[in-house]
Amino acid sequence: MANVILTSQQLETLVPRRYQEEVFTRAQKGNIIAALNTGSGKTLISLLLIKWTIAKEQSKGKVIIFLVPKVTLVEQQSNYIDTNTPDSIRVMKLHGALDVDLSDRAGWKKRFEEHEVFVMTAQIFLNILTHSVWSIDKVSLMIFDECHHARKNHPYNGIMREYFHVPSSRRPKIFGMTASPIWNVKDPGGSLATLEQHMDAKVIGVRDHIEELVDHSPKPIEVIEEYPLPPEEYAYPFPTIYLCLQIFEKTLWDQLEIPWSKIEMRYFSTLYNLGPYCASLFLYLEIQHHLTNLFAEYQKYLYPVDGDMVVDIPSSTPAKRIPLEIFDIDDIVSDFRSFFSSDDCPAQIPIPIPLAWCSPKVESLVKVLLKYSSPTFQGIIFVEQRQVASTLGRLLEAVPELQGTIRCAHLVGQGVNSEGVSKHSDRYQGDAVKLFRDKEINILIATSVAEEGLDFPASRIACDLVVRFDPLQHLVGYVQSRGRARNKASTFIIMIQKDDLAQLTRYKALQEGEPEINRAYQTRHLNTDDDLDDDDDDMNDLVDLAERERYVVPSTGAILSYDNAINLIHHLCALIPRDAFTPPHQPTFTGYFQSTMRLPPSLPLPPRHLSYLGPPKRSKKEARRAVAFCAVKRLCKLDVFDDYLLPISSQAHEADKQRVTHVRNVPAIMTVSVRDPWCMGSKLWIHPIFIDGCQVAGLVTGTKLPPVDVLAASSHVRSGMAELLVFHEDVEFEERKIMHDFTKLGIWYRITSSPFVSATSLFLIPLTSDNQPDFHTMTRLVDNPWGQGDWDSITEDDYDRRIVMSTYERGRTYLLRKIRDDLSPMSVPPRGSLQAAFPTYQEYFVNKWTRKNRKAIVPVGGPLLEAAIHPKSHLGSYSLYPINADTIATPSNAEVRLLPQGCTRLIDLSFNLCRAFEALPVICRRFTDVYRVQCGRFELGLPLITENLLIEAFTLPSSKPSCNNQRMETLGDAVLQICTTVHLLNAYPNRHEGQLSELRSQLVSNNYLLARAKDVGLEHFLTSEVETVYKWRYALLDDGNDEGPRDPPKRYAEREFPRRSLQDCMEAVLAASFLTGGISMALETGTALGLAFGGPHPWWRRYPPSAPPTAVSALFEGLETSLGYKFHHSHLILEAVTHPSFSSSSGGPSYQRLEFLGDALLDLVVIKYLYDKFPSATSHELAYPRTRTICAQTLAHVAVKRLGLHNIMLVNCPSLTMAINGYVPMLRAASSEEIVNQGWKYDPPKALSDVFESVMGAIFVDTGYDYDKTASVVEYVMEDVLSVLSPSLTKDPVSDLLEWAGKAGCRKVVFGKEAKSTGKFQTEGVTVSVHGNIVVGPIFSTSLPVAKYAAAERAMAMLKDGETDKSLAHLCDCGKHMETDNTGPASVEDGAKLNNVFDEELDAEDAAEVDRIMTTDIS
């Protein structure tokens, strides 16, 4: 069925003109290129096409791609489409400046689902296709703005090459827009044919409504403005800045890395074009720009000479020698400052510029501007070079003849151009195009960036004048620049040098040939059999294009082509980690028509995979593309690139090779059904309960529970084997009700503050000698819930064993201590007693218990009872380990009172049953914990982890038991790191440290752990309940008094806890398994939980040695002695001491991959040492000493002082060697205590800590990944450092200062940066201020973090000194404000109160983040 063609009137849109409707109608029928003049409304046609396409049924699930060649057009076109379409059409804009992450596949999927139209640069879409983020068959319409660029290797052409690989039935519609479809005026037919072939579309013009088109896209008046040749000499002040700078040798400029030759070439070009002042202005700005950068680079090696404000430490960064001539250059530039730059506005020329200092060409331009200027005048001047645009823009405002008339800004391309010429700014800040549209400026001086596509509507902007300042080079430039003049009265001026016949002839040819060229495409539809030869520009590489290969990754559809191969190689190399002493990693190409490419040796590849020879080609560029294509294809097979052709993926499932659940929609607080054994079913089970060996009761519930034992305060409680409870058939309901009522009464008496109405999910009952329910005993209590008054059976044996209750104090129970036959209600209270205010005890009790509507009746006869208040059981949790056990309140320390026997009732609950009910919360908690652990172990497939350890791992901090998973989570984080690291290191042998680090960060991230926890259902086994006497937790799910059987029983309970709990529990379970069975059990556990550990098998079996043992060089014998370990494989220790600078020059692997392994190894060894040594330390108390132990300063200290690694490191970088040698004496002299407590004072080269980590990693590999053996070596080497660690380790000065000030109530302690000049240099130091008053600083150092710590240390001393005006008491008034202003921010003390509400400690990840913030550079 043919598509229904809609007219534009049927679409909700702007009203199109008839010629636009004509083109739109033809676009509906097929792929076309609309060749229409600038300003004729091509974008409106594309808008009509967008709406029409979206309305089509076959467009569902597809998107529309609007492609532009330049970033500036992304903003313009996306705003136009977004403004003129309904809200239902969602538009997204994309370009490089928006930091597009192509590895975020979930994010891209969401973008494509939530938007219908994408406006982007062509390169972005080509990258999307390359990495299979989206595919062309999921696009319904592709619009190409300025589509004449679809030639050679432009991204437009790359996109269309992929388009042709899609079956024709699945291809999107193509709509191209251009005002210049022809590049080659000598062969217009060939140019059109090439464009049509590349775009799979026909070039069309308007046929039926040409008059209307001409009327709405008028051409400006074209005028030739001739100017004379520039003179040989100018009347310009001598000497010029150029002559002054010529005294310096070229070698100096090269040493300073200033591209003098290119600057000089542009200087002469500007001199010829604009005259001596603009040429000198350009030179001044350019040299000043380079000097500013040089001084900024050198200033980190210098600081002011004020010794008191300097922390003098050796630099850990490579120092550069500062050529003294740089000061001479700066002096010369400074001498000319008053000539080129105003102090008030550096971008403004400070003096009037006479035309005698300008070229004749500029004089002619000034005359043109004067001639056409008016109060509403606006114009554009097109130039070829960016330095011409920037200097001309400054000059025109300084010409006296134009002052008050001209307001200029310039528009050039993004960034610094390829020749190193900087992008200068003008006096008007902001977007030049917006300034022009808003008429803040009236002259826009632009390079070719403004020729294409930038829209200046004639209805809003009266662009009266367009000047082509530099010669026209081609038809596209002529048509596009002229098209910016859209008013009927506009003028297009072409500036041509007098007597320049070649330039005049070229212009005439373009002017006269344009109508003929237009006819070529306007009548194109009549000549369907024209020769389709390509234009001359593409003829040279036709054979090469025909020979090009293309590779599609089968699993993902990612595309490798000649167009993207070199970019992929450069991206891979840019990600290789390097320190300040290692140059950037780049591939090298040699050869011309057959290229050889060598990859950086830092890539962990065998030598044969570091060098590639490409096939012969017909150009040097094509040869490079070919060899890069071959290399990437091979690297894909080596797994250096993933299946999406990305060297690094940000998606965990791509690193894990498993599907990962998306957790974006998991709420912060989850409602979860957790396993819970407490239920009532048709079958009930009796579990005998023993306290200190004596059977005291039976616990009945609908789940057969395993035997448990638990320490409840000072008593040992255990349960026996469960037995099925057999009811008498006719009275089952009555028996259940008796047990239910009895249990509720016992809970009320001994646990809760008040009775509860819900049906209980368990019964605690007395048992007969044959372990059956003692219904007789239960009935006595149920029949007398308020007690009974028969005191005849009470003997002294019942003292301290029977509970009583006052008839006027319902709910409060007492423990009977003694019957006082010597006292009666009518006795006189002794003097000084509580009752002494009344004549008798009877009157005291009447007064005490009488209420407004009820008078108490107290018999005058009978004895008084001596009774102790029997507090409710406070046992809600228990200790997994016999540490700091709680004690049950005993009568000896309870308050004793006198009660009249006539108002007191005996509760028929035996001493043993009282003990049973008091221990019931602990018993239930233990049963719950064991039940969840056993369910979790079975359902998750976990190995036999020690029961108590697994209970601890499953227990959340919010439940506030004596043991929760916070400490374990800290240890488990390190277990997760090492298991993931070993797997990645072996699974990806050809990936460098940067790639491995990114993969590891994904596989240990909170989102990944949360996803895996959700996948296995870990949340169903976690314990979050808080035991409380105010509410009985063990009740049936729904309210009511239905105690009948429920089948099937519901063995779960609804709970709420934070989703973060799942991530922490994953790590805690790993720690529990590691503590039970070491790394082997941790691997089994991680595999069961779905983590990327490479499987459950032990490492020694999985990763056998790859090479036979080899003898170690004599160079390393001393190291082996210091380590107490003898290597079996010499290549490992050689790799471990090889710095990247050495491997880059000599080949072979560097230490980076082993460092990656050693980093994770040290983390686990240190945290396990702390975990064992300090069993009562919190997670935060463990995290801080760990951070101090594995920081760069501490490891460098051990590397130098204990192992002497600086003597055997293989380094090929003199500046690194000098930096290391500068630090060695300091590290040797420092003690372990100084390094751990004051490590902030040191900033050694990172290479020292890196090589220590790599040596430890090498030992780990050499032992066959024997963790225990390696850990013993690490602890031996680091014993001096480990011995000084403690949970109360001294904090760094920054943390210490902020915490101390916070406790004092001050919220206004601020670290800042302040610059200080030293000659030509600006050096930044650190200040500390309180309430805006600088207390210390600026403090300077070669290391800004060291300066920050030093400033904090000095500030602390000054703020504590109450004798000075810089004391905290003198400067801070926060306390006064807190007293009077209750609406202000909470104080530190307030925060402490809030913390008590959420009594969770910092976990390892939080503590590390706090440490990172505290040690972050203040910039």
Told to judge if 1159 belongs to the known catalytic residues of this protein, a careful annotator would answer yes
Structural element, H or E, at residue 1058:
strand 1052-1058
Phi and psi, residue 296, nearest 5°:
-65, -35
In the chain, the N- to C-terminal Cα span, in Å, equals 65
**Contact at 8 Å (CB) between 553 and 646?**
no
Helix, coil or strand: residue 803? strand
Q: In the structure encoding, which two tokens stand for residue 1232, read together? A: 């372990």
Q: In the structure encoding, which two tokens stand for residue 6, read together? A: 């809609």
Amino acid residing at 436 = F
Q: In the structure encoding, which two tokens stand for residue 284, read together? A: 């001044």
Q: What is the DSSP letter of 460?
A: T
Amino acid residing at 485 = A
Tell me which of 1253, 1401, 1403, 1405 is the catalytic residue: 1253
Amino acid residing at 978 = I
Q: In the structure encoding, which two tokens stand for residue 717, read together? A: 């409680």
Amino acid residing at 846 = V
Give the number of C-alpha atoms closer than 13 A to the C-alpha of residue 182, restricted to the C-beta side.
27
**Contact at 8 Å (CB) between 1171 and 1182?**
yes
CA distances from 93 to 423, 475, 993 (A): 25, 30, 34
Q: In the structure encoding, which two tokens stand for residue 1037, read together? A: 């799910």
**Contact at 8 Å (CB) between 693 and 728?**
no
Phi and psi, residue 1083, nearest 5°:
-65, -40
From 1063, 965, 976, select the one nearest 1018 (Cα to Cα). Answer: 1063
From 72, 61, 152, select the one nearest 109 (Cα to Cα). Answer: 61
Q: Is 911 left (phi over 0), alpha (psi -120 to 50) or beta?
A: alpha
d(CA 388, CA 406) in angstroms, rounded, equals 17
CA distances from 35 to 45, 195, 473 (A): 12, 12, 21
Concatenate the DSSP letters of all residues of 157-204 into one string. HHHHHHHTTS-GGGPPEEEEEES---S-TT-HHHHHHHHHHHHTSEEE
**Contact at 8 Å (CB) between 1256 and 1162?**
yes
Label the pairing between strands 173-178 and 32-35.
Answer: parallel
- HEC string of 1293-1356? HHHHHHHHHHHCCCCCEEEEEEEEEECCEEEEEEEEEECCEEEEEEEEECCHHHHHHHHHHHHH
Partners of 93 in beta bridges: 119
Tell me which of 741, 1159, 1262, 1400 is the catalytic residue: 1159
CA distances from 1347 to 1313, 1321, 1339 (A): 10, 18, 6
Partners of 669 in beta bridges: 1058
**Contact at 8 Å (CB) between 361 and 230?**
yes
Q: How many CB atoms lie within 10 A of CB 2?
A: 5
**Contact at 8 Å (CB) between 991 and 604?**
yes
Partners of 690 in beta bridges: 695, 718
d(CA 270, CA 272) in angstroms, rounded, equals 5
| CA 339 and chain centroid, separation | 48
Looking at 169-324, list the stretches that DSSP marks H as alpha helix, in order from N- to C-terminal side. 188-199, 210-216, 241-245, 250-255, 260-274, 276-298
CA distances from 339 to 278, 421, 426, 1046, 1219 (A): 11, 21, 16, 96, 43
List the catalytic residues. 1159, 1253
